Structure 1
Amino acid sequence: MIITIAILAVAAVFFAMGKVRSDLVALCALVALLLTGILTPQEALSGFANPVVIMMVGLFVVGGAIVQTGLAKKASGKLMTLADGNELRLFLLLMIVTALIGAFVSNTGTVALMMPIVVSLAQKGGIKASRLLMPLAFASSMGGMLTLIGTPPNLVIQEALTEAGYEPLKFFSFLPVGIACIIVGIVVLLPLSKRFLSEGEKKESDKKSRRKTLSRLMEEYQLAENLSVFTVANDSLAAGKTLAELNIHHRYGLTVLEVRRIKKSHTRIMKDVEQKLAGPDTLLTAGDIIYLSGNKETATRLATDLKLTAASSQNLTIYDIGIAEVVLMHSARLCGKSIKDSGVRRMYNVNVLGVQRGGDYITENLADLKLREGDTLLIQGRWKNIARIANEADGIVVIGQPLEEAAHVTLDYKAPLAAAIMLLMIAMMVFDFIPVAPVTAVMIAGLLMVITGCLRSVEAAYKTINWESIVLIAAMLPMSVALEKTGASNMVARLLADNLGEASPYALLAGVYFTTSCLTMFISNTATAVLMSPIALTSAVAIGVSPYPMLFAVTLGASMCFASPFSTPPNALVMQAGGYSFIDYIKVGLPLQIIMGLVMIGVLPLIFPF
């Protein structure tokens, strides 16, 4: 017992210092428990097979797809409209919406769904994401107190009451308590988040501001100004012909940037966009969308000659075919050659859209332009081909990271499909008549997001997973096994509850809440509720008071644990995204946890009298 507590104390010190990565500290604590024989290898590794950990992995993938498809941006836009640019209104709206979702969906699922929306929201509103992400995690836990199914500890105390022969709680018996929690949370978090959570993202934002965005590249090379978009009609003279046969560049002086084909299903939910890099062999069919660069009057004349119709959108949205800048060094084979003779398309399967030479941007008559050392070329091609240039081409330097740029591209045509998958996942988690476990529902949703193309690739899905948070939770979960196995948690719980029970019902209530709250910092909230429920019920009966307020103190203490990143999965989920350290949870979560307890000690007897 003493060894377990010592290992836990040392780990807590390192967590608080923040000098060592939290996942590494957790793994060291786990190994120490193994070496001392407190845990068997099976017990130590049980956290990595825990359904909560597997669910977190799946939810990261689902959240990544919500971002990749632009669904997060659309949802955040709606919230921004409702907030009307007011930061206070935005904060209140976020807390309330998250809490309402958390009343019916697991708090882990709620955070995973809302986190990409909040990050997008922060970018739109010019607010640091760290200011909103921790309140988001806390609000999901508070929302769990609104209904019977909101959080597992609620079901634990329901079972304890039923087994003891007391009247079971109804679905909305928790509602008054939950509302009180949300009010306290908003009042406390509003000043604390502004005071302590407004740092930590400056370096990242500075880095982003220096990175050339795709829209900035298009603006510099005036692609948007010189862009014309047409659709090949059924009676068009271009239908059934290749670009070589049409000879558009030589006849009109225009450059075909891309040919795009949109496929829709009967339901209109399934939609796919097939992009083709313009080449001599590209065959045009009715319904194809042609993107042209050059004089707009000439483009209009071409459209008249070939019976093309103006497309509904005149913007060049980037999906699988991207753009990037490359710089020619003195050793580049392309130097001294014209673009048409350089073989750049044949070797790398990319097109040259423009050349920056000195302060000038050249976008017309590119075929005969001779390339020089120091020229910056704007190239267009599939992201993987652009990345191949970076790895294989001698004397050509690709500016930026193409594959990272590809990860930022929004597949907005997949947004309805991603929304449908997300709603399916929520339905499977909420409705009991669907015989699917929550972890299974999340795994199904994650797989569907990858299979249907809501994420660009399997590799992109893996990159959405925050492995530091996963390892942190998986390594800390066996700590609860060690505390229970050595009897440390049971001893602390009984010692505090028994001693305080002799004083007064309020003292016992405070003892139950804060004991549960402290234990939940190191043991899962469900395990703590299972441990503390019989102790709280027995203590209440022993001093002749109603067990209801005592058991509510158990579920509150287990669910309202905010002072540690690994006390609940939502806290861990937002840790990396918000750039938080262990001490940030102490600064914001601990005062909230204490104030919540003090308020609830007074409120619970009013709702459920002794």
Structure 2
Amino acid sequence: MTDTWTTVAILLLAVAAFVWNRLPVEIVALSVALALYGTGVISLDEAFAGFGSGTVVLIAALFVVAEALDAAGVTTWLGSLIIRFAGTSRVRLLCLMMGITAVLTALISVNGAVAALLPMVVVSAVRLGRLPSQLLMPLAFAAHAGSLLVLTGSPVNILVLNAALESAGRGIGFFEFALVGLPLLLGTVGLALWLGPRLIPDRTPDTLPKDLSAHRRTLGEHYLGGDALVRLGVPAGSDLVGSPTDRIPAAGGTGVHVVSVQGPDGRPVAGAVLAAGDHVVVRGGRDLVDAFAAQHGLEPGGAANCGLISRSYGVAEVVVAPRSDLVGTETYPGMVTDSGALVVLAHNRPRSPRAAGRNRIEAGDTLLLQGAWSALDRHTADHNVLLVDSPDAIRRQTVPLGPGSRPALAILAAMVVLLATGVVPAPVAALLAALGMVVLRVVTVGQAHRSMAWQTLILVGGMIPLSTAITQTGAAELIADALVAAIGGAGPLPLLAGIFLVTTILGQLISNTATALVIIPIALSVAAESSINPITVLMCVAVASAAALLTPVSTPANMMIMQPAGYRFGDYWKFGLAVMVLYAGVAILLVPVFWPAHVA
């Protein structure tokens, strides 16, 4: 058996294994690479070259960038906008989500946009009581359509532009791609609204994130009852300046309880006197707090400085573990923890009235701790307590545009500029952005490690050798030549239909960039023989290359949504085929309208 047919056989077995869905997709991908090496089709270096490829580096770096945008509250802000304007309307929700996805794709690529918006869409689905599976496939397909809005939306567009310059002597404008991109986006949105509920399966993923959007109110009701928790600034003229921090006068007599005294940096202050610039956190009825502030010349903080959670600080709820070293020790609201970075806001005991004053801790008690977000992350990882909800998860869902949002957005803008101008290769631009997110402390090294979707990276790395083998052995060219040659002289429309068919078949099996590299020279040679405008066939290839919709292995973006949505391998083709018909109509019928096949 020749290498060509060996590659075809391995390809068919891989597709069958993916459809069978009994083996993890990572095992199938790695087995494909080993089978190609074992049969001598590719060398050892080529078998493992996928894991060092620019594609895998690009995807990994984009995961870090997406994690940073999520950690900084950028995706939370986008999600809040979508939920605010969409309300409970499925139509508005899908239109807003898919529109934002397409625009972001035009700026940072298909994979980057899906990686960045994926956490926001999953949390929004949970918050609205919808299954993520009903939103994530429209998300990925909107990204595919968005790749044709501008020149920088996809590497395939750049290949098409270069081929147009060489073959026709003229380029394709930056926004000229939108002539087909906009109809594809609008049509995809329409199909998602019309056919989505029937063709996209309802799947429940193994794990769903917890909705913490109402966490501030929930904790307030549980621990504070009807009281308000307010942070008051101490100006230089206040009569409290110089008072001992543990004996602030007249607080108890007004029905207002001082819970914590914090320095200008937000850290609790203990065993000292109150100074100008400090803050006093008080608890009580809102009217009583306002009267207390007026009495002592304190400055009520704005909305961002009140309550349990703000951009700078937050809360963590912990349960005292059995056999904890804390059992038997004394605590009280306002007590500063041993670290000096957190303060105890409240102490509750199950099936008992709210604990007030000094109380001894028992196993199973809950403590509400407040401090800077970084201090909560660092000091709540303790074997003595069990964390109910991580501060990181609370911050991501309750603090839009957090402290790291400015550097995150600046780095994102710089990455977009690098990608749009092509000053450096795309993997380098994404890697620089990922490094910038870590260096500027938008994310920690640990968060960057945890952001990796290893299933996606292993799948892509394992399947790249198959793409190499299909190209090198001539399997792709054999299939393409046979199909295109059969209809090359039948006229423009059959020719475009043949090019679309060949491109989409290959595009479901290998990357759309590799597909375009194989198809472009073949399509141009047939166009030359048939005296057809090369721009026409090139735009047909661009549209067909974006139609990687039928399997999760078609693109990394399709793979990214598989696990969070709970999809199976065979879940994509039903809705994907409906959208594919739209792509075929645009490639075969609409492309010749804007780029006529016969040029006078």
TM over 0.5: yes
Tell me if 1:325 matches 2:325. Answer: no
Q: Which amino acid aligns with 2:503?
A: T
CA 571–239 in structure 1, closer or farther in 2 if over 3 Å, else same: farther
Give secondary structure in 2 for the equivalent of 1:512.
helix
Contact 1:480 1:524 in 2 (8 A): yes
Report the alpha carbon displacement of residue 494 of structure 1 after superposing the two structures with TM: 0.8
| Aligned position for 1:525 | 512
| Aligned position for 2:551 | 564
| Aligned position for 1:316 | 308
Contact 2:160 2:539 in 1 (8 A): yes
Q: Where do residues 226-241 of structure 1 align in structure 2 (5 Å cutoff)?
A: 226-239=228-241
Match of 2:463 among 451, 455, 476: 476
* CA displacement, residues 445-479 of structure 1 (integer Å, 9 cap, x when unaligned): 22332333333x22122222322212222222222
The 2-side partners of 1:516 and 1:307 are apart by 73
Give secondary structure in 1 for the equivalent of 2:151.
coil
| Aligned position for 1:269 | none
Match of 2:376 among 379, 383, 401: 383
| Aligned position for 2:148 | 145
The 1-side partners of 2:395 and 2:84 are apart by 28
Report the alpha carbon displacement of residue 307 of structure 1 after superposing the two structures with TM: 3.8
Contact 1:235 1:307 in 2 (8 A): yes
The 2-side partners of 1:372 and 1:104 are apart by 55
Tell me if 1:511 matches 2:511. Answer: no
Contact 1:345 1:351 in 2 (8 A): yes
Contact 2:107 2:153 in 1 (8 A): yes
| Aligned position for 1:30 | 33
The 2-side partners of 1:80 and 1:377 are apart by 32
The 1-side partners of 2:250 and 2:572 are apart by 62
| Aligned position for 2:416 | 426
Report the alpha carbon displacement of residue 493 of structure 1 after superposing the two structures with TM: 1.0
CA 240–508 in structure 1, closer or farther in 2 if over 3 Å, else same: farther
Give secondary structure in 1 for the equivalent of 2:40.
coil
Contact 1:214 1:323 in 2 (8 A): no
Tell me if 1:497 matches 2:490. Answer: no
Report the alpha carbon displacement of residue 233 of structure 1 after superposing the two structures with TM: 0.9
| Aligned position for 2:439 | 451
Give secondary structure in 2 for the equivalent of 1:287.
coil
Contact 1:68 1:408 in 2 (8 A): no
CA 248–516 in structure 1, closer or farther in 2 if over 3 Å, else same: farther
* CA displacement, residues 523-545 of structure 1 (integer Å, 9 cap, x when unaligned): 22122112111211211222343
Q: Where do residues 158-177 of structure 1 align in structure 2 (5 Å cutoff)?
A: 158-177=161-180
| Aligned position for 1:546 | 533
* CA displacement, residues 330-374 of structure 1 (integer Å, 9 cap, x when unaligned): x5565555437xx99448976544333343342421x2x244555
Tell me if 1:77 matches 2:68. Answer: no
The 1-side partners of 2:163 and 2:262 are apart by 65
The 2-side partners of 1:372 and 1:102 are apart by 53
The 1-side partners of 2:369 and 2:175 are apart by 60
Q: Which amino acid aligns with 1:225?
A: D
TM-score, normalisation: structure 1 = 0.84
Contact 2:227 2:285 in 1 (8 A): no
Tell me if 1:288 matches 2:278. Answer: yes
The 1-side partners of 2:79 and 2:522 are apart by 45
| Aligned position for 1:93 | 96
Q: Where do residues 347-358 of structure 1 align in structure 2 (5 Å cutoff)?
A: 351-358=343-350
Report the alpha carbon displacement of residue 586 of structure 1 after superposing the two structures with TM: 2.0
Contact 1:355 1:376 in 2 (8 A): yes
CA 316–465 in structure 1, closer or farther in 2 if over 3 Å, else same: same
Q: Decide which moves more: 479-488 or 175-184.
A: 175-184
The 2-side partners of 1:605 and 1:295 are apart by 71
Tell me if 1:609 matches 2:597. Answer: yes
| Aligned position for 2:44 | 41
Contact 1:564 1:571 in 2 (8 A): yes
The 2-side partners of 1:347 and 1:420 are apart by 34
Q: Which amino acid aligns with 1:217?
A: L
Q: Which amino acid aligns with 2:376?
A: W
Report the alpha carbon displacement of residue 488 of structure 1 after superposing the two structures with TM: 0.9
The 1-side partners of 2:162 and 2:24 are apart by 39
Report the alpha carbon displacement of residue 388 of structure 1 after superposing the two structures with TM: 4.0
Tell me if 1:68 matches 2:59. Answer: no
Give secondary structure in 2 for the equivalent of 1:221.
helix
Report the alpha carbon displacement of residue 175 of structure 1 after superposing the two structures with TM: 3.2
The 2-side partners of 1:384 and 1:405 are apart by 11
Tell me if 1:4 matches 2:30. Answer: no
| Aligned position for 1:271 | none
| Aligned position for 1:440 | 428
CA 52–337 in structure 1, closer or farther in 2 if over 3 Å, else same: closer
The 1-side partners of 2:180 and 2:564 are apart by 30
Give secondary structure in 1 for the equivalent of 2:315.
strand
Report the alpha carbon displacement of residue 281 of structure 1 after superposing the two structures with TM: 4.0
Q: Decide which moves more: 3-12 or 351-360.
A: 351-360
| Aligned position for 2:565 | 578
CA 415–400 in structure 1, closer or farther in 2 if over 3 Å, else same: closer
The 2-side partners of 1:121 and 1:332 are apart by 37
Contact 1:242 1:280 in 2 (8 A): no
CA 476–209 in structure 1, closer or farther in 2 if over 3 Å, else same: same
Contact 1:73 1:121 in 2 (8 A): no
CA 129–473 in structure 1, closer or farther in 2 if over 3 Å, else same: same
The 2-side partners of 1:118 and 1:384 are apart by 25
Q: Which amino acid aligns with 1:525?
A: N
Contact 1:130 1:197 in 2 (8 A): yes
Report the alpha carbon displacement of residue 483 of structure 1 after superposing the two structures with TM: 0.8
Report the alpha carbon displacement of residue 496 of structure 1 after superposing the two structures with TM: 1.1
| Aligned position for 1:362 | 354
* CA displacement, residues 416-452 of structure 1 (integer Å, 9 cap, x when unaligned): 34333322322332246xx344333322322332333
Give secondary structure in 2 for the equivalent of 1:208.
coil
Match of 2:331 among 318, 334, 339: 339
Q: Which amino acid aligns with 1:440?
A: V
Q: Which amino acid aligns with 2:346?
A: G
Contact 1:22 1:472 in 2 (8 A): yes
The 2-side partners of 1:260 and 1:579 are apart by 47
The 1-side partners of 2:580 and 2:243 are apart by 70
Give secondary structure in 2 for the equivalent of 1:315.
coil
Q: Where do residues 88-127 of structure 1 align in structure 2 (5 Å cutoff)?
A: 88-123=91-126, 125-127=128-130
The 2-side partners of 1:507 and 1:224 are apart by 73
Q: Which amino acid aligns with 1:383?
A: L
Match of 2:135 among 132, 135, 157: 132
Contact 2:539 2:587 in 1 (8 A): no
The 1-side partners of 2:177 and 2:392 are apart by 48
CA 379–167 in structure 1, closer or farther in 2 if over 3 Å, else same: closer
Contact 1:355 1:361 in 2 (8 A): no
The 2-side partners of 1:445 and 1:290 are apart by 39
Q: Which amino acid aligns with 1:604?
A: V
Tell me if 1:275 matches 2:266. Answer: yes
Report the alpha carbon displacement of residue 124 of structure 1 after superposing the two structures with TM: 5.0
Q: Which runs of 5+ in 1 are unaligned?
A: 262-273
Percent of residue pairs identical: 28
Contact 1:275 1:321 in 2 (8 A): no
Q: Which amino acid aligns with 1:292?
A: V
Q: Where do residues 200-239 of structure 1 align in structure 2 (5 Å cutoff)?
A: 200-201=203-204, 204-205=207-208, 208=210, 213=215, 215-222=217-224, 225-239=227-241
| Aligned position for 1:266 | none
CA 288–414 in structure 1, closer or farther in 2 if over 3 Å, else same: farther
The 2-side partners of 1:298 and 1:170 are apart by 65
| Aligned position for 1:193 | 196
CA 461–501 in structure 1, closer or farther in 2 if over 3 Å, else same: same
